């Protein structure tokens, strides 16, 4: 256990280093002048003032020096100050992380539960009219861009029907103490459904195929010969076998979930990390961009780690160091 924990920790450190370096190269190579983005393209700020601004934010130094200075500050617990938001990056992440986590975890749970149920229903009624219709629906969903679905959701449920607000995570004009949990849920529903749609399709199609493989196996045929039918057969011989692949796919979708949240948050003006990384990219805000990149890498790594732990709980034969019977 100590060896596995040390290996996991080393992998996480190397992952965060690699992500931070790659993200830094991307942001400094972008055709964006951070100083111009800071003061505004149409401003009348003199070149001398721009030079002072660049010196204040450390933008006049070489990229290698900037990266290692940022890295040394991070190791001391200082993630820097965002020039765009004018607040420490750690504070910006703390403010926006909860909103993004609520959105992503809600969408993740919806896609997993609905996708698994739909996949089991399709597999149990394979080749039926319901199965064909559900598969067609899943194929359409999996090929539909997240932002386009979000725009349709906004037009129909917010503009036409007026059931949900147009955007943001809380009502406009309310102070924080007056915002209720129901207000937050109403603002969360449309972005979460939008973000979960593509995940539902992939989980459903994968689960359907795995269940069909199980139901057409020799041990399922033997179970039918003993009189097992319908839900009893699926519960005793199907669910555990299809749960592990479904969990694998579900936790592997963490990276896609974070990428989709960037689009969903921008469509719904949802103030989370997705909108923050878009703002940082457009403004050349290196500290904020790297902070969100590290958070996203840690988020995905944690999801994969939880998946590995659950594999062993569901099937002891695949635990590391275990023996196949």
Number of H-type helices and E-type strands within the chain: 14, 0
pLDDT score recorded for residue 323: 46
Q: What would the pLDDT profile of 7-47 be if each residue is shown by its tens digit?
A: 888 888 899 999 999 999 988 888 887 887 777 766 667 77
Other Cβ atoms closer than 10 A to 96 = 23
Cα separations in angstroms, 316 against 136, 246, 320, 321:
36, 17, 9, 10
**Whole-angstrom Cα distance, residue 264 to residue 273?**
11
Q: Is the pLDDT of residue 278 over 60?
A: yes
Domains parsed from the chain with CATH numbers: 92-318 (1.10.3720.10)
The model's pLDDT over 142-176, given as tens digits with 9 standing for 90+, comes to 888 888 888 888 888 888 888 888 777 677 767 76
Chain mean position to CA 132: 29
- At 19 the pLDDT is 92
177, with CB counted inside 10 A (0-12, 13-18, 19+), is exposed
- Write the DSSP string, 281-303: HHHT-HHHHHHHHHHHHHHHHHH
Residues in the chain: 325
Neighbours of 202 (CB within 10 A): 20
pTM of this structure? 0.76
Q: Dihedrals φ, ψ of 81, to 5°?
A: -115, 135
Asked if the model's pLDDT at residue 292 lies above 80, the reply is yes
Higher pLDDT, 100 or 219: 100
């Amino acid at each position: 256990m100590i060896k596995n924990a040390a290996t996991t920790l080393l992998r996480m450190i190397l992952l965060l280093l690699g992500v931070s370096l790659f993200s830094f190269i991307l942001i400094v190579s972008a055709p964006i002048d951070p100083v111009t983005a800071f003061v505004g393209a149409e401003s009348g700020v003199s070149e001398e003032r721009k030079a002072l601004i660049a010196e204040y934010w450390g933008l006049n130094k070489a990229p290698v020096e900037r990266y290692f200075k940022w890295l040394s500050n991070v190791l001391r617990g200082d993630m820097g100050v965002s020039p765009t938001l004018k607040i420490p990056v750690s504070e910006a992440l703390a403010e926006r992380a909860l909103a993004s986590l609520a959105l992503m975890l809600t969408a993740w749970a919806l896609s997993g539960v609905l996708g698994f149920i739909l996949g089991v229903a399709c597999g149990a009624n394979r080749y039926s009219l319901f199965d064909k219709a559900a598969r067609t629906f899943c194929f359409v969903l999996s090929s539909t861009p997240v932002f386009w679905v979000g725009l349709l959701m906004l037009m129909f449920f917010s503009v036409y029907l007026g059931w949900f607000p147009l955007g943001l995570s809380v009502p406009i004009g309310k102070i924080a103490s007056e915002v209720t949990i129901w207000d937050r849920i109403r603002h969360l529903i449309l972005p979460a459904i939008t973000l979960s749609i593509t995940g539902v399709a992939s989980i459903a199609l994968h689960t359907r195929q795995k269940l069909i493989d199980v139901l057409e196996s020799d041990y399922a045929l033997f179970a039918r010969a003993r009189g097992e039918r319908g839900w009893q057969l699926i519960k005793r011989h199907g669910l555990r076998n299809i749960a592990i692949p479904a969990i694998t796919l579900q936790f592997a979708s963490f990276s896609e979930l974070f990428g989709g949240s960037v689009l969903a948050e921008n469509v719904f003006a949802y103030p989370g990390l997705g909108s923050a990384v878009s703002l940082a990219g457009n403004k050349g805000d290196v500290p904020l961009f790297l902070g969100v990149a590290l958070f996203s890498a840690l988020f995905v790594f944690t999801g994969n780690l939880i998946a590995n732990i659950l594999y062993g709980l569901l099937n002891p034969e695949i635990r590391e160091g275990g023996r196949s019977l």
